[in-house]
Amino acid sequence: MKPIAVVTGGAGFIGSHMNDLLIERGYKVRVIDNLVGGRETNIEHHRSNPDFSFEERDIRSLEPGEKMFADAKIVIHFAGIGDIVPSIDNPVEYMSVNVQGTVKVLECARAAKVSRLVYAASSSCYGLADVPTREDHPIRPQYPYALSKYQGEQAAFHWHQVYKLPVNSIRIFNAYGTRSRTSGAYGAVFGVFLRQKIANQPYTVVGDGTQRRDFLYASDVAEAFLAAAETPKVGEIWNLGAGNPQSVNRIIELLGGERIEIPKRPGEPDCTYADITKIQKDLNWAPKVSFEDGVGRLVANIDYWKAAPLWTPNKIAEATATWFNFLGGDKKAAG
């Protein structure tokens, strides 16, 4: 009998890659997702697979005893609000989904007596971190998204402590890849740039483009999560990146095209850089997809972003006005 995996947020960007890997590795996959942002296309290729099932739900509506969790062996918890900038405008919703929604998932997993729950945490909990960043780095969230993801992680480990729910957590640095979001709020650089490339518009570079991010391709992220679900280790936190930060300017080199600079946002680091020593050692994991290959895969699938919003400097200024209002006066946050 095939083991059962529940993937919350499984119609999303990373979640859909997780589904692919789990099915490939012999799991039956049950996906729970609210389909915000038209993400149903990410799971269409699995709809006819007898090892795949889907339920459209807000995780906050889940209750212990849900059929989707029955006999599940593992739960991979990706569901949540992932856009960073809008968290300044709507902190209540972020705390509701990313913290209270997580608690609902934890309770379902506890009732189902799963053998492992892996929580998708965020490296944003470290704030303006020393690099390369280890798991024992001080926690300094700079904005509500970061706080909500960290408190969701704290809830998961509290359930581990009190209820003995077997939990591991992975703090993702900068995931990228095919199927990333094509609608909604201003966000991740690749979604913005790919739509601008389609429209033959200049890339909107925040600052001078020398800022670096520890980009890791989505299939490598999925491999790490499966390893965290199958390891005998429990109660662990791992940082997850490629351990090889790339600059925004390097992205433009690979994509090709003109650029325009827009103001740098306070509270955002000049560099994110995961120290991946622990995850490599504990889980025998290593990234497989080079940055150049990963960007090539995005360009090969660029039509996916045709319907994405086209962000201009003026639209970005409007979308980030509240961010600058609340974080712009903090000299420490501004670096």
Q: Kindly list the domain boundaries of the chain, sorted by start residue.
A: 4-175+216-240, 177-213+243-272+289-334
Catalytic annotation, residues: 145
Is the C-alpha dihedral spanning 84, 87, 93, 94 positive or negative? positive
pLDDT at 267: 87
pTM reported for the whole predicted model: 0.95
Residues 292-332 have pLDDT tens digits of 999 999 999 999 999 899 999 999 999 999 999 999 854 33
168: burial class by Cβ within 10 Å (0-12, 13-18, 19+)? buried
Segments of the chain scoring below 50 in pLDDT = 330-335
pLDDT of residue 333: 32
- The DSSP H or E segment spanning 269 is none
- pLDDT value at position 329? 57
Return the number of other C-beta atoms located less than 10 Å from residue 258's C-beta.
10
CATH class of the 177-213+243-272+289-334 domain in this structure: alpha beta
In this prediction, residue 53 carries a pLDDT of 98
CATH class of residue range 4-175+216-240 = alpha beta
